[in-house]
Amino acid sequence: MSGNHASSPVAAQVRHVEALLEERGLLDPHEIDERIDALAAGGTPANGAALVARAWVDPAFRERLLADGNAAIAELGFSMGGALQEQKLTVMANDADEHHVVVCTLCSCYPIALLGPSPGWYKSEAYRSRVVREPRAVLREFGLELPASTRITVWDASAESRYLVLPRRPEDTEGRSEEELAGLVTRKGLIGTAAV
């Protein structure tokens, strides 16, 4: 899946608002880029993997993460502070009956602080439109074949809300350290397009 939406109507609107804020002296011309760079500099899939590993070994943390993502990630020193606002983080746990997958149908809203820069396929129009209509087929293309009995729930991110999948802990991982468990978690697992 590929695609480029730099010339989308939303991108044009964003550029227009930035220009108006700069003209009125409310925004330094480089401020948005500096904030985005700062956010992206600390963002990596290892952050999300650390959250998952902690949730796998600490049931109380898992409950807090599922109840209030923002408060729980702060316990590990992470934040959902965006360039202009704090975003609400909702974490959904996969289980044998339900599998979660994340998309942003309008553009590519995504928890950069926890997953690093979004992959190209996540931004593509093909993924953004198809995963909502035919999630099982899209997941199959990623190599994830789920049982027919497994319900798939698609979560649509927005400027205010971000989503993260808490994958199922792999079998036969008892006794592994938190660090070893984190090493099993991938960005695709945190988006829901792969199992761990």
88: three-class secondary structure by DSSP: strand
Note whether 15 and 27 are within 8 A (CB). Answer: no
Cα 71 to Cα 145, 157, 159: the distances in Å are: 33, 19, 19
**Tens of pLDDT, residues 44-82:** 899 999 999 999 999 999 999 999 999 999 999 998 875
2 is catalytic: no
Give the count of beta carbons closer than 10 Å to the beta carbon of residue 54. Answer: 19
104 is catalytic: yes
With vertex at residue 152, the alpha carbon angle to CA 118 and CA 54, rounded to the nearest 5 degrees, is 60
- Among candidate residues 8, 79, 107, 124, the one labeled active-site is 107
Whole-prediction pTM: 0.78
109 is catalytic: yes
SS3 content of the chain, % helix, strand, coil (to 5): 45, 15, 40
**Tens of pLDDT, residues 100-114:** 999 999 888 889 889
8 is catalytic: no
Q: Which residues contact 127 (CB under 8 A, 6 or more apart)?
A: 1, 103, 121, 138
The residues spanned by each domain of the chain are: 9-191
- Predicted pLDDT of residue 27: 72
Q: What CATH class does 9-191 carry?
A: alpha beta
